[in-house]
Structure 1
Amino acid sequence: MTEDTGLRRREPYGTWPSPVGAALVAAHDGRPEYLGAVGEELWWTAPRPAEGGRRALLRLRPGEAEPSCVLPAPWNVRSRVIEYGGLPWAGLARTGGAGPLIVFVHFADQRLYALEPDAPGAAPRPLTPLSPVGGGLRWCDPLIRPGRDGGPGEVWCVLEEFTGALPSEVRRVPAAVPLDGSAAEDRGAVRELTAATHRFVTGPKPSPDGTRAVWLAWDHPGMPWEGTELRLAEIAAGPAPVLTGARTVAGGPGESVAQAEWAADGGLLAATDRTGWWNLHRLDPDTGEAVNLCPRQEEFADALWRVGHRWFAPLGNGTLAVVHGRGAARLGILDPVRGELADAPGPWGEWSPALAVQGSRVTGIAAGALRHHEIVQLDAATGRCRVLAAHHRDAVDPAYYPRPVARVCHGPGGREVHARLYPPTHPEYAGPEGEAPPYVLWAHGGPTSRAPLVLDLEIAYFTSRGIGVAEVDYGGSTGFGRAYRERLHGQWGVVDVEDCAAVAAALAAEGLADPRRLAIRGGSAGGWTTAASLVSPAAEGLYACGVISYPVLDLVGWGVDETHDFESHYLESLIGPRREVPERYAERSPVRHAERLAVPFLLLQGLDDVICPPAQAERLLAAVAGRGVPHAYLTFAGEGHGFRRAETIERAVEAELALYLTVFGIHRPDAPPLELTGDVSGAARRRGPEPVP
């Protein structure tokens, strides 16, 4: 029965009408990436969910109000290096009216192409060959180096080359690709700039005087947020320069260097966590002596999941544009001499690791709690910010957006757990008096990552219907220093599960959430945490259901040749050395504890996923077969790790809502369809008594 409360009517949580539909969520999925400057122009990639999920390449000329799309469908500017990809394009401004020269990676064949967009009849021309071996040849983090005396020049970049059919049969090396197209059919025309001495590398960056270059490198079993080496080499002079005398000037097994850049005076700048936080340091390239430019318990970088991320950029006057914060990522201008830091004004609390500098202007990709990602420019000389492109426009009345609340809860032993609450929000409806709403715990992927505070219509899809969301930056997340990240060492499936449970229990204890209508969901590593939570004694009886997307589920199988090379040894730190604790791999795996799985779940899987392949999901299905646990398994052809196509996103969001409505006992006439196997009411009985907060 409807009760009129004056300004808002009282209706059961989950039944509220909402203008935030699944199609709207899909249309706003993704964000701009890989912003860069080409002379006075700005270029970046942008998502196109309605065009098969491709990444378009956009160009904004000076004085233009809107960017133009440079390449029509099906061109897809996206690299597959380390599968998560990296910087997929580079540009060179040219004089004499020729317009810019652009190089980019096309996702379908992973070849590097050149494009002169202002030339008559401009069309991409391939620069690199195809390879029939394994995953072929892949490229990222390019830099265009003009040729001497008007010659064609080269592209310096990362080459990823498969040498066999297995994911582990791969090598990576800094390489030079000729711009004249001579390597388009000839692998031998690609020059390797140095020996392949490390498993992973970033693209080399030459010094201002052109005599040296630096890059990052690391090896199995380490991940780049655990330890990287800052490598420096001389650039040998000649018509075909190579990198000689390579040596390590910073970093190592216990120190992560996330980014390095040259200062205009030839000094070396690096974001390193040698203090326990990713702080900016100035390094002497000859001695490695380091000076912390702004000692703070804040992060001036983050986990290097994609090659080419850029958290800081030198300006011409000696100051630095920096993305920094604690559990956040603000843009600021740092005076490295005084150590003073001034933040950019405006409503943007999250800036992406993609900064473009043009004189005193710094342009980045920024978003806020009530704003989508925009292309925003800060004039460091005046301190003013303005939006240049991808302008935020409210798709619905912002009264439907939830207002996030930052929380610090406490897990076992009193440890801090950071979370963000998105309560049910509607301008016309409220829940029944004295009734707490259902809540869904969101476990982010990674797990060495964090949940950014940005407007997310997928969250609004649920909160505007009366279902709350709590995002948890569990132990192991970035943004809070190295010690917080290392809480997960050897404890994946324990600390993350306990921390999510601590937040859920706190919500129930404070009367903010209905303890009988709690759920948990996540994708990738978040899918692991979700599945582990549903079978863990630490969360027994806490969650009524779960949504598991493209997950890791079987640690015994997920490893060297059942996932991609980048993360194939990640478990050595997350779980422990496989040789030393083999039993732990089985003990932690949700597929090995199917008898504990007693609540309904939804399993979502891309069939082209090579990171968490369908075999992982299928093992869970086999383990629960015949046990009567209600579940649904939805697969999506053409989708990899993470969903990009509009139709996939719509179906996934609607199926998730349908699960909650069914399990929480919420009735609404527009409920999307979802067929569950098994007996939902029986699963509720097996779940047991109401948990005691």
Structure 2
Amino acid sequence: MQHQAAHGSWASPVDAALAAAHDGRPDFLGTVGDEVWWTEPRPAEGGRRALVRRHADGTARTLLPPPWNVRSRVLEYGGRPWAALDRPGTGPLAVFCHFPDQRLYAYEPDAGPDAAPRPLTPVSPVGGGLRWSDPLPVPALGEVWCVLEEYTGPGPGDVRRVLAAVPLDGSAAEDRAAVRELSDGRHRFVTGPRLSPDGRHAVWLGWDHPRMPWDGTEAILADVTPDGRLENARTVAGGPEESVPQADWDAAGRLLLASDRGGWWNLYRAELAADGTLGPARALCPREEEFAGPLWQTGLTWFRALDSGPVAVLHGRGDAVLGLLDPETGTLADAPGPWTAWSPTLAAHGTRVYGVAAGIHRGAEIVELDTATGRTRVVGSPHTDPVDPAHYPESTARVFTGPGGREVHAHVHPPRNPAFTGPEGALPPYVVHAHGGPTGHAALVLDLEIAYFTSRGIGVVEVNYGGSTGYGRAYRERLRGEWGVVDVEDCAAVALALAAEGTADPARLAVRGGSAGGWTSAASLVRTDVYACGTIIYPVLDLKGWATGETHDFESRYLDGLVGPLDEVPERYAERSPIEHVDRITAPFLLLQGLDDVICPPAQAERFLARTAGRGVPHAYLSFPGEGHGFRGADTMVRALEAELALYARVFGFDRPDVPELELRT
């Protein structure tokens, strides 16, 4: 029997500690012989990333205890942080990047109980030091090839990136000169090389300011000499207005690449002649679907060729699912199972494909597809329901109409609790989630942070506003020059539509988001009167400051596309920035900030608060030492989630004695 109670006041077993414990997902899958390895989050261990090894018999164990943290800082968002060389008879050799010092380490887990990681690279005292990602062991040369990000001075822009070869014998552990550079530094940004099956060619990606990798990248092909040098590097695909987020090889030595040259990221294949000449690229399965996504980290994989000929691909509109593509016929068969969204990390061994997948009622887990039988099974990080699934929302994907009749994609998560219902005739409050990026995407999967609110009687809607990925290049370019306008309008249109149809209480709407979503939340409070309150998490608040040295190198020219070049449209930077218009904010807000954030630094939040003080707008500020861009520690996530609920309780008028009261200042 359900009890009637005010929306927001319902008792729920989905508490903040439970949501924090299930935050994050496995990532960076790889096969090592017939084993599967991956990284996974450990919120209870300070948010470190652990390296996990699944043996052929199905048993899995963590390879390294705390404080080892397998995570790269290349581009600040990181990249693939590990690789391992299979050595039958002696056991694998793993190479990984340790987050605190960013050194590469080698580790032989089967070498005995006293085996410990040994450093392969030195520490640099200059700026952000030396950083590494996308390691690729090249045993014939006794090296591991990587992306090297090297700081040359104290500023965020004092940096260079090249492909580099690190000796596996440890001779570079204290000697930077022992690192052999492979590429010529012609591009500001590079991804890790992929060697052809015969080892005679390598392909990688490069791009330059002011483009982001979803705007335009180049696929670069080079010949590999017997002594491991890269020669005759030439661009074979991509350009200023063509994004190639992945390039790799099939077993026959043909080049595979994902490109949006036709308006959607599709998969192409080109033949490589004996003289190194690359033939024309042919679309293998031309569709108005995405077969790739935004390259926020190096080393992401949306496709993986099998030795037997088929290609495992992630594809779809909106969320991506796993399919098996016959490149000769273009036939595409999807993997069976309850998973509705797959992450861009694929691995393959023999006839088996491995990926990370989640569903509407399933958290992220590692799934194996046996292409010989067509069967799937969970082989790692299995989902188990920590509470009765009746406390999860019955979520749906919907398309709303925005200004000018444009489509706006969103996921609606209504309140749901088996023990409670709202008062008769009462509409629930709704929180509009603006995702980060902004060139990103909110997937329709189980998220216990969302269930934390919906199981208490608060609806949530995630808006994939114009600029989001998953819907083709034209959709994501709606935000070009319009950041702070289109995203704000689309979120408001969805909120007002839910209110107009009688789904949400129009007087109790909130907006929240982190990073670029934090920007959209703050801009929404400035530009609209739709929301009764907002939660702003590690945001961009001052465009001019962000464009003139207050962020990292990777995104330092992002605003050229999102807003326009600063020297051409300075007035737009002032007009759009929430920090310049705090006088327009009348709704209460909560601001959450990591004090170690170098992407959206606390200086912006502090200036924003200084201008807000004394204006009579209730607000709260919580800052977290040791947290960067994206909260990873369990204690931080619990405090942040409970503070957000306390804000809604105060503004929407329901009682929550189970969370600390939020002190609001004016």
Q: Say if 2:96 is the partner of 1:104.
A: yes
Question: In 2, are the aligned partners of 1:534 and 1:597 still within 8 Å (CA)?
Answer: yes
Q: Residues 103 and 113 of structure 1 are in contact (CA less than 8 Å); yes or no, is this contact kept in structure 2?
A: yes
User: Letter of the aligned partner of 1:170 in structure 2?
Assistant: V
Aligned to 2:132: 139
Choose the corresponding residue for 1:125, options 118, 130, 137. Answer: 118
Residues 1:416 and 2:404 are matched in the alignment:
no
Q: Counterpart in 1 of 2:216?
A: 227
Distance 1:266 1:394 in 2: 44
- How far off its partner does 1:619 sit? 1.4
Q: In the alignment, is the contact (CA less than 8 A) between 2:81 and 2:97 conserved in 1?
A: yes
Report 1:627-646 matches (<5 A). 627-646=615-634
Tell me how far apart the structure 1 counterparts of residues 251 and 379 of structure 2 sit (CA, whole Å).
Answer: 27
Please tell me the residue identity of whatever aligns with 2:44. A
156-165 or 346-355, which deviates more: 346-355
Deviation for aligned residue 1:284: 3.5
Mean Cα deviation higher: 473-482 or 423-432: 423-432
SS at match of 1:577: coil
Q: Contact 1:81–1:160 at 8 Å: present in 2 too?
A: yes
Higher mean Cα deviation, 164-173 or 280-289? 280-289
Maintained 8 Å contact 1:661/1:671: no
The offset of 1:560, in angstroms, is 4.3
Aligned residues of 1:33 and 1:44 also touching (Cα < 8 A): yes
State the partner residue of 1:451: 442
Asked if residue 598 in structure 1 is aligned to residue 557 in structure 2, the reply is: no
The reply on whether 1:174 has 2:163 as its aligned counterpart is yes
CA contact (8 A) 1:403 1:423 kept: yes
The C-alpha deviation readout for 1:641-686, integer Å capped at 9, x for no partner, is 01000000000000000000000011233243210013xxxxxxxx
* Aligned pairs for 1:65-214 within 5 A: 65=59, 67-95=60-88, 97-120=89-112, 121-147=114-140, 153-214=142-203
Question: Distance between the aligned counterparts of 1:544 and 1:117, measured in 2?
Answer: 54
Separation in structure 2 between the aligned mates of residue 409 and residue 217 of structure 1, nearest angstrom: 37
The residue type equivalent to 1:306 in the other structure is Q
Counterpart in 2 of 1:266?
253
Moved more, 154-163 or 667-676: 667-676
1:626-655 deviations in whole A, cap 9, x for unaligned?
A: 101100000000000010000000000000
Describe the SS at the equivalent of 1:352: strand
- What are structure 2's unaligned runs of at least 5 residues? none
Counterparts of 2:29 and 2:194 in 1: how far apart (Å)? 17
Per-residue deviation at 1:433? 1.3
Partner of 1:429: 420
- Alpha-carbon deviations, 1:438-487, whole Å to 9, x = none? 00000000000000111100000000000000000000000000000000
**Residue type of the alignment partner of 1:173:** V
- The residue correspondences of 1:237-386 to structure 2 (distance < 5 A) are 237-238=226-227, 241-285=228-272, 286-386=277-377
Q: Could you tell me how far apart the structure 2 residues matched to 1:462 and 1:424 are?
A: 8
Q: How far apart are the structure 1 equivalents of 2:656 and 2:665?
A: 21
The AA in structure 2 aligned to 1:35 is L
In the TM superposition, residue 288 of structure 1 has moved relative to its aligned partner by 4.9
For residues 447 and 70 of structure 1, what CA distance do their matches in structure 2 show? 35
1:102–1:114 contact (8 Å) kept in structure 2? yes
CA distance in 2: counterparts of 1:560 and 1:385, whole angstroms: 49
5 Å-filtered alignment, 1:595-674, equals: 595-674=583-662
- Is structure 2 residue 463 aligned with structure 1 residue 472? yes
**Partner-residue secondary structure (3-state), 1:168:** coil
- Structure 1 residue aligned with 2:561, among 560, 573, 585? 573
Query: Shift of residue 287 of structure 1?
Result: 3.7
Contact kept? 2:544, 2:566, Cα under 8 Å? no
Partner of 2:383: 392
Per-residue deviation, residues 353-400 of structure 1 (Å, max 9, x unmatched):
111101110011111010011111000111000111111100000000
Give the counterpart of 2:7 among 10, 13, 21: 13
Query: 3-state SS of the aligned residue for 1:461?
Result: helix
Opposite residue 187 of structure 2, the aligned amino acid is H
Matched, 1:48 2:39: no
Structure 1 match to 2:499: 508
2: CA distance between counterparts of 1:80 and 1:354?
18
In the alignment, is the contact (CA less than 8 A) between 1:560 and 1:569 conserved in 2? no
Tell me the TM-score normalized by structure 1. 0.95
Q: Secondary structure at the match of 2:425?
A: coil
Letter in 2 for 1:673: E
State the AA in 2 paired with 1:104: F
Give the superposition deviation at 1:209: 1.0
> Which range moves more in the overlay, 210-219 or 277-286?
277-286
Measure the CA separation in 1 of the matches of 2:659 and 2:27: 35
The answer to whether residue 447 in structure 2 is matched with residue 460 in structure 1 is no
* Structure 2 Cα separation of the partners of residues 178 and 488 of structure 1: 44
Note the 1:439-588 alignment, pairs <5 A. Answer: 439-536=430-527, 539=528, 541-588=529-576
Structure 1 residue 317: Cα displacement: 1.3
Q: Distance in 2 between matches of 1:19 and 1:417?
A: 33
CA distance in structure 1 between the aligned counterparts of 2:575 and 2:475, rounded to whole angstroms: 24
SS at match of 2:476: helix
Distance in 2 (CA, whole Å) between partners of 1:534 and 1:310 is 37
Shift of 1:603: 0.2
* Alpha carbons 1:250, 1:288 under 8 Å: kept: no
CA deviations 1:228-263 (Å, max 9, x no partner) are 00000111222xx21111110000000000101111
Counterparts of 1:236 and 1:562 in 2: how far apart (Å)? 42
Letter in 2 for 1:188: A
Does 2:23 align with 1:24?
Answer: no
The CA distance in 2 between the partners of 1:187 and 1:158, in whole Å, is 15
Could you give the per-residue CA deviations for residues 513-561 of structure 1, whole angstroms, max 9, x where no partner exists?
000000000000000000000001xx2x210000000000000100242
Is the partner of 1:556 in helix, strand or coil?
Answer: helix
Q: Quick check: 2:339–2:358 contact (8 Å CA) kept in 1?
A: yes
**Matching residue within 31, 34, 45 for 1:37:** 31
DSSP-derived class of the 2:483 partner = coil
The one-letter amino acid paired with 1:630 is P
Amino acid at match of 1:667: D
How many Å apart are 1:98 and its aligned residue? 0.5
| Residue deviations 1:118-165 (CA, integer Å, cap 9, x gap) | 0022100000000000000000001001035xxxx1000100000000
**Which structure 1 residue ranges, 4+ long, deviate > 6 Å from structure 2?**
none
Aligned-pair Cα RMSD in Å? 0.8
CA deviation map 1:254-275 (0-9, x unaligned): 0000101111111100010001
8 Å Cα contact 1:168/1:560 also seen in 2 = no
**Structure 2 CA distance, aligned partners of 1:554 and 1:388?**
45
Query: What amino acid sits opposite 1:94 in the alignment?
Result: R
Contact 2:397 2:444 in 1 (8 A): no
CA distance in 2, matches of 1:405, 1:501: 19
- Post-superposition Cα deviations, 1:26-80, rounded to whole Å, max 9, x if no partner, equal 1111110101000111110010001010000000001134x10100000000000
Between the two proteins, the alignment pairs up a number of residues equal to 661
Cα displacement (A) at 1:283: 2.0
Match of 1:405 among 396, 399, 402: 396
Distance of 2:26 and 2:396 partners within structure 1: 26
